[in-house]
Structure 1
């Protein structure tokens, strides 16, 4: 079934992306923080609902990570654009995702569809990316100061992003390869 409550919640989270971007560009980082936190809560709620109501769907399995990545990447790029986060960090975060998605597409084209399994380092990276985005929005949005914590989080995200990207590339290179089917 396509229209389930978890899928509607995920779709609402996807619709929160332009709102968060607009709020950041309007320098209403306080409200952007609230939208970001609301989106994070909705991510947990939709997954929980899908499990307890047994309403998992193929659409939800695709839409959920797309909504998550759209929000994270958009917030990083926009925060870098207004000078709240370093531009090099936004570039690194986007580049890692481009390498992973590009690699998946190349494997599909080569007839080697990958088994997509999130790695532990990738889960840690996502957690750190979410925490940094929330921290940056909180500090800038409410005029709070915690420069040391912000800098530490920036470096933690940079290192985990690099480690995660390298781990995915290494795992892909280690996997067994089969010759493509030449066709008729």
Structure 2
């Protein structure tokens, strides 16, 4: 560590980015553990099915907004990702108003994992991959973007009937 940076090979990572990555990784891990134990001990509730994806979206959205401010993520990519999250949340709210709970699908969960990995690697300034010249941070970000779009379309197609539901 030197002057507020952590030196890894020829890459200097600001300590603030390292701390942010650790906090983000711990928050992501505890969110996963919460879901794991809820399923394992059959503690899954409709409220949990609604709040857990909201917590994921808030955590990931905040991190992506930070990455825009740090000029580490393209704003247009983050806008698409966050827009999809708002759209899915809107669909969930419509469904909840009809007494229907829409749980997250497998593709949506994979999307979240890719987003989390992209954020972690970006906060680490692509270390250790920068040493071998592979932009894994950007590969993960764009893979997450594609999966974000595909899973959003899938979610709407699968649950479109909710938009016409009435009591």
The question of a shared fold, defined as TM-score above 0.5 by the shorter chain, is answered with: yes
Does 2:123 align with 1:130? Answer: no
The aligned residue for residue 149 of structure 2 is: 162
TM-score by length of 1: 0.67
Aligned counterpart for 2:158 among listed residues 159, 171, 175: 171
Preserved CA contact (<8 Å) 1:121 1:164:
yes
Aligned counterpart for 2:72 among listed residues 78, 84, 87: 84
Greater strand proportion: 2
TM-score by length of 2: 0.73
Q: Which runs of 5+ in 2 are unaligned?
A: 1-13
Structure 2 distance, partners of 1:167, 1:50, is 26
The aligned residue for residue 63 of structure 2 is: 75
| Matched pairs, number | 152
RMSD of aligned alpha carbons: 2.9
**1:2-151 paired onto structure 2 within 5 Å:** 28-50=16-38, 60-109=48-97, 112-139=98-125, 145=130, 148-151=135-138
The aligned residue for residue 11 of structure 2 is: none
Q: Which runs of 5+ in 1 are unaligned?
A: 1-25
Compute the displacement of 1:115 (Å): 3.8
Compute the displacement of 1:169 (Å): 1.6
Structure 2 distance, partners of 1:107, 1:52, is 26
Name the stretch that deviates more: 50-59 or 29-38.
50-59
Cα displacement string for residues 112-147 of structure 1 (whole angstroms, at most 9, x for unaligned residues): 44441322221221111111111111226x797255
Q: Secondary structure at the match of 2:73?
A: coil
